[in-house]
Structure formats: C-alpha cells, structure tokens
Amino acid sequence: MANLRHQAKQTVYSRRPRKCAVPVNDQGKYLRVSQYYGENVYNYHLSKSLSLEDKDSLKQIIDGKRTIDKPLAAKVANSVLEWAISKGATHFCHWFQPLTGSTAEKHDAFLSFDGDRAIEEITATQLMQGEPDASSFPNGGSRATFEARGYTTWDLTSPLFIQESANGKTLVIPTAFVSYHGEALDTKTPLLRSDLKINEVMTKFSHLIGMKDVKKVWTTCGAEQEYFLIDKAFYFGRQDLVMTGRALVGSLTSRNQQLEDHYFGMIEDRVLAYMQEVEIELYKMGIPAKTRHNEVAPGQFEMAPIFKDANVAADNNQIVMTVLRNVALKHDFVCLLHEKPFAGVNGSGKHLNWSMSSDTGVNFLEPGHNPHENYRFLAVVATVVEAVYRHADIIRMGIASHGNDHRLGANEAPPSIMSVFLGTTLTKIFESMVTAGKYEHEARKTLDLGARQLADIFKDNTDRNRTSPFAFTGNKFEFRACGSSASIGYPLSVLNACIIDVFTETNVLIEDSIKAGKTVDEALIAVVMKWYGNAQRVVFNGDGYSQDWVKEAEKRGLGNLRTTPEAIAVLKDEKKTSVLKRTGVFTDSEISTRHNVMLERYIKCRQIELKTLAGMVNKQIVPAAVEYKGILADTVKKQKDAGVDSSLELELLKDLAALSKSVYDQTLSMNAALDELHHKHDEETIAKKIAMELMPQSVKVADLCNQIEEIVPDENWPLPKFYDMLFIR
C-alpha cells in the first residue's frame, strides 16, 4: 500500500494541464463567449416550424397564464426533435431531481419505426410525461415496493438542453417527479409551487402600494459553489473519500491556510485549465458562470453565476455540480463537493443570493440612493426579517445534512443559530423608526485611501458579514448556511414559504391601513414598525463565530439546533410545519416523507462513515502500525545485542504499541455500539445517538489514527496524506 501511495505521487508529478476544444468559427478563429453562449439550449423563439401564435401561446404557458394542450405539445415536440437532431442528439431523457439531492435520468432513443422504415421521433406524450419507478427512489415509506408508479412531467419554465458526452449527445428535458397520487417526490415541484405563491402575494403587494403595472414577480437566485480538487491518483488511494466524500482520518499539515495565502491567490495552470473547460461547457448550456477564484483552504476553489429565476437557478446549480465532477475527471482531478472533506481546514458552502424581481425591472431589495426614504424597500426587508425570526427553526431544517453538521458553528461557517445581518446603517434606520418614528440621514461617506492615484471609494451602507447565516449584502440577502453538496431547491422552497407567510399578513396590514385613510407611505411605515419591532432580536451584526453570541442568542430566545437529527425533528412539530402547509408549498404527506427521507439518509450516511473508518483502522492503519512496530522491535533487539543505546526506539515502540491498542479497542467499541443501536432503538433515537455518542467517538478514533500517522515514517504510511492531496498538483 505504501508503494502504491508513492507511485501515485510520481504519477501526479508528471501531470500537465489539459487542453480542451475551445469553440472556433469556420476560419479557425476563437469565438467570443457571446457567440456560442446557449448554443446547446433549445430556444422556441428561434424555431422555424412554430408559428407566431404558437410562440405566444408558449410564452403564456411559461408565465403560468394557461396550460399546454396536446396539439401544441405535438408541434413543440417536432420543433425540439428537429433542433436536437441538427445538434447531433440521438436520445432524449426526462431529467429530474429526486430526494437523493442529486439528479436522475433514463435515456430513450429517438429511434422509432414507420412500418419497416427506421425514423427519428419524439411524441407529445414522450415530451410531456415519463414513468420512472417511484418506489425505487427515496420516498420515506410513502410508497410500498409494489406501488411503483410515478410520473415525470415536463417543466416548461426550465430550458431543454443538449448534454454532450464522448460518443454522442442527449436531449435533456427538465421535469418534475411526482407519485401516482400527485405527491411531490422531488425538489422541483415544491419550488415551483412556492414561486407561484411568491408571484401572487408580491403582485398584490405591488398593486396595493401603487405599482399597478406589475404583472409578475419571481424570486431570483445566484448560488455560489465551493469545491475541492484533488488528483484522482490520490482519491482512489483513499477508501474514505470514495465511500463518503471526506477524509475520515488524516494529520493536518503544519502549513495549511493560516498564512491566508491561498484565498484569491494566483490560480495554478492545471486548475485554471480545468476551470476554463468547465466554463466553456456551462456557457454552451446557457449557464452564466461569472466568477472563479481560489478559496480559503488549500485545494479549495469557488465559482459563482449571474442571477436567474430561482427554479432555473436550481436546475443550473445541479448541472454545475455535474459538470464540475465530469470535467474534473478529464483533467485527472476529482471534484469533492462534501461540506467538510478535510478536518482542520475550511469546509465548503453554497451561498444562496436571494431576492425578488418584477417584470417591470424592480428588485424589491434594491435600496436606491436614499434607503431611509425608500419605504417600500424597508417594508420588504422588515417582512423578511420577521419571516426569519418567526420561522428560524424550519429554515434551519432546510439546510440540515450530515455533511453540513461539520461546518455550522465550527468557526469557519455561519452558526446553526439563524440570525439576520443588516449592517450599521439599516439597523440604525429600523431602530430609529421603531423608537422615534423617523431617521436622521447621514451623508454617504468616502473612504480615505491615502493615495491620490486611487479612485475614491464610497462606503457601502452595509459591510459583508461572513459569520452571518442570513446577511443583507446591498441589494439581496445572502443565505450563507447552505451546504456545498445540497440541492438548493429545498432550502429555497422552505425560505420562500416563510416569506410568503409573512407577506400575506403584510398585505392585510397595508389594506387595513389604506382603508383607515392612511397614505401608502404611512401604511409601509406601519409594516416596518410592526415587523421590525417584533423581530429585532433576530438581527445580529457582530461575530457569529464567537461563544459570546451563542450565549447572547440563548438570552434572546433564539433556537440553536446544532445537529441534523435535532433539525429534522422540527418536521414532526405541526406548529412549526404549518407554514409549509398553509402556503401550499408542501402537503402533510410530503412533510412526513421528507422527515423520513432526511432521517434515513442521515443514518445511512453516518453508518457508511463509521463502517468505512473501522475498515481503514483494521485493514490499513493498525497493519501499518504493526509493521513499523516490528521494524522498531527488530532495531531495539539488534542495538541491545550490539550494546548500543536504544532508549529512543524503545520509547517510540511503547508509544506506538499503546496507540495501536487504544485505536483498536476504540474501534471495536464503536462498532459494537453501532450494531447494538439497530437492535434496540427506533430511527429517531438511532440518529440522535449517532450524533451525540458515536460521532464524538469516531473523532477520538480519528485522533488516535492521526497520532499513529505522526509516528510511522512517511515511506511506510499507506494512505495519501493531507500534504499529498492538498498541495501536490
């Protein structure tokens, strides 16, 4: 095994940046991004086989004003078929997002027959509906094995696209996935429901305050994606990375991120080549990758897109994760999306930049030049703050996962306490309005940089607070607590439901105020004073990493659900889940399904981790320790026979023997406790005991393994080390 590790290192040393096919025109000149952007996305506006009337009907369907009928679906199917075949596609698939957190697809050939003649065909029915096995995907016990029927149904609001592979192309049809009885078994369906409700309450809000021209409002989102890259030669030498996505053991290198030299540092050639190919693939599929950079930890990187509507953004992020993984393999990398691949250095999150926009171009979270005068903006922010305060536990549940437990509250990510950061200026505005009914405006300040060569920089109304889970950042809220591997559809659906709930009441408040003879501005001020006056305890602009905040939050009565089992339990509290039902985003049975699926997934993932750790201890770490003990024992004997002092070797031998015995015993105990759980307890108790008892025990096992790693010589250690994985490219 040690030899395999050293062979892997030699392989990595010989790697070179991969060159990919950069899009060029017929003359061989490089194309601008704008010239090939979206070339693999179906655009019905460009179809020559659809009439203007057909295109207008499709627009109405996409806007939610009517439903599609079969004759129009047949026309679209023919148009899509012509386009897909012209792009080289031979198959199509219904692409959906089951409760696994990833995506699923089944490919069907366009091949059909007209008598004995082979033809290409996709029918209206095939375009609109598929039938995967609903009982074979996570369903929380809502489907018996024999109750297999489920449906995928075409989501017209998300573009069809071409997926390229080495030997062919496939037409991908984004779909929702529901059971035979219409229950949502995916992340898309609730998100679509929530966006319809957002449109309903926010359009009404707009009309109440005089914005009569607004006909549609939707949530917008930009999901920043963090990830790690390691060479695949090292990846396949680590059973824990292959089985669980994270290194369960490993001694931290002496220099890692403490010098802060990796963040925004120069991107290495091999990594940059990878990023460039990722972007080319995303641009072809109409995904606007905008930013790329080194992240805080060595081997960690980030990409961020331009905002899109929430449903398309959620689909895009699933594609982003797939492309990141697939392209990495072409470059002999493996992309790790786990929230905490390496203990001791920063983990990975997925910041959701969230806002609401209208068809008239209004961003409801844009403060304008004078935010103290913009009562619409202040009322919207106050309503959002109330939503987070009122439904903090359910929002926390929406980002719960076994991987995210390693980040939240771990001095590298926002804490598990849900709070809102507004910044100094906005907080002063709200506090002064609540206490005095007005705000004394401060002139916008310019930062004095002390160098004439540099342009003046105006000081923003808000700083950025990276320790806050839900931070206002100028013209949007940044939900920073989501995990890097998560589907963003679920937390977005939950967040939207909470916003809808309070905005419904905001609309009633405004209606009542106007009926009472108040002006719109007075009505909006009343909204601000009511909601901020009630929810200001959830606003915190300080250091969310500090233990002082944990104590302060407890005094304020804010919840702190530290582990996933605690957060999942919220789904059994009818009082807390009622917001999901009364807004129509989830049904009773869907809430129950998600509780069971999340609980089952937590237990299974932790079981895999614990069993993998035990296997590594028994098959790799203890044998490596035993082998080196033999070397030390032989050395001690030879030195004693030669009359040479062997106290150093004897001390090392004793230390290694004690550590080996301790890690072996701890592992036996951990395995026994895990086996015992499943004979005596229900799933909720199992999950809690894993979180509170077995996970701390696994940390002790890992620490003992790391101490053994520090003693065993490098040439005798079988596993790729943190140094290998994080620093060798």
Relative orientation angle of helices 424-436 and 375-390, to the nearest 10 degrees: 90
CB distance 476 to 354 below 8 Å: yes
Token pair for residue 32?
Answer: 């601008």
User: What residues contact residue 193 under an 8 Å CB cut-off, 6+ apart?
Assistant: 493, 584, 585
Token pair for residue 178?
Answer: 């529901």
Q: What is the pLDDT of residue 680?
A: 74
Strand order in the sheet with 300-305: 289-294, 300-305, 225-231, 333-336
Q: Categorise residue 437: left if φ over 0, alpha if ψ from -120 to 50, beta otherwise.
A: left
- CATH topology (fold) of 602-727: Four Helix Bundle (Hemerythrin (Met), subunit A) (1.20.120)
Q: Categorise residue 141: left if φ over 0, alpha if ψ from -120 to 50, beta otherwise.
A: left
Token pair for residue 578?
Answer: 């009622």
Task: Give CA–CA dist 250/457, Å, rounded.
Answer: 45
- Buried b or exposed e, range 551-578, using 16+ CB within 10 angstroms: ebbeebebbbbbbbbbbbbbbeeeebbe
Task: Give CA–CA dist 518/512, Å, rounded.
Answer: 9
State the pairing for strand pair 470-472/420-421. parallel
Q: What spatial distance separates the first Cα and last Cα of the chain, rounded to whole Å? A: 21
Relative orientation angle of helices 647-680 and 588-616, to the nearest 10 degrees: 150
Token pair for residue 188?
Answer: 């898309």
Residues of the chain with pLDDT under 70: 1-2, 142-148, 370-373, 411, 437-465
CB distance 299 to 228 below 8 Å: yes
Closest C-alpha to 465, from 533, 391, 523, 546: 546
**Helix H or strand E segment including 727:** helix 722-727
Measured in whole angstroms, the distance separating CA 415 from the mean position of its chain's CA atoms is 16
User: What residues contact residue 126 under an 8 Å CB cut-off, 6+ apart?
Assistant: 77, 92, 108
- CATH topology (fold) of 37-185: Ubiquitin-like (UB roll) (3.10.20)
Token pair for residue 369?
Answer: 């030049």
User: What residues contact residue 48 under an 8 Å CB cut-off, 6+ apart?
Assistant: none
Please tell me whether residue 695 adopts helix, strand or coil conformation: helix
Is-same-fold flag (37-185; 602-727)? no
How is the chain split into domains, by residue range? 37-185, 187-222+349-585, 602-727
Q: What is the pLDDT of residue 200?
A: 97
Q: What is the pLDDT of residue 442?
A: 58
Closest C-alpha to 186, from 118, 288, 98: 98
Task: Give CA–CA dist 535/542, Å, rounded.
Answer: 17
3-state secondary structure 568-637: HHHHHCHHHHHHHHHCCCCCHHHHHHHHHHHHHHHHHHHHHHHHHHHHHHHHHHHHHHHHHHHHHHHHHH
**Dihedral (CA of 627, 628, 629, 631) sign:** positive
Token pair for residue 487?
Answer: 């589907």
The beta strands (E) that lie in 424-468 are given as 446-447, 457-458
Task: Give CA–CA dist 503/222, Å, rounded.
Answer: 22
Task: Give CA–CA dist 554/261, Å, rounded.
Answer: 36
Within a 10 A sphere around the Cβ of 501, how many other Cβ atoms? 24
Task: Give CA–CA dist 140/646, Å, rounded.
Answer: 61
State the pairing for strand pair 470-472/477-479. antiparallel
What does the DSSP 8-state code read for residue 268?
P
Burial class of residue 432 (count of CB atoms within 10 Å of its CB; 0-12, 13-18, 19+): middle
**Dihedral (CA of 648, 653, 658, 664) sign:** positive
Beta bridge partners of 231: 333
CB distance 220 to 356 below 8 Å: yes
Q: What is the pLDDT of residue 262?
A: 87
Closest C-alpha to 475, from 459, 462, 465, 488: 462
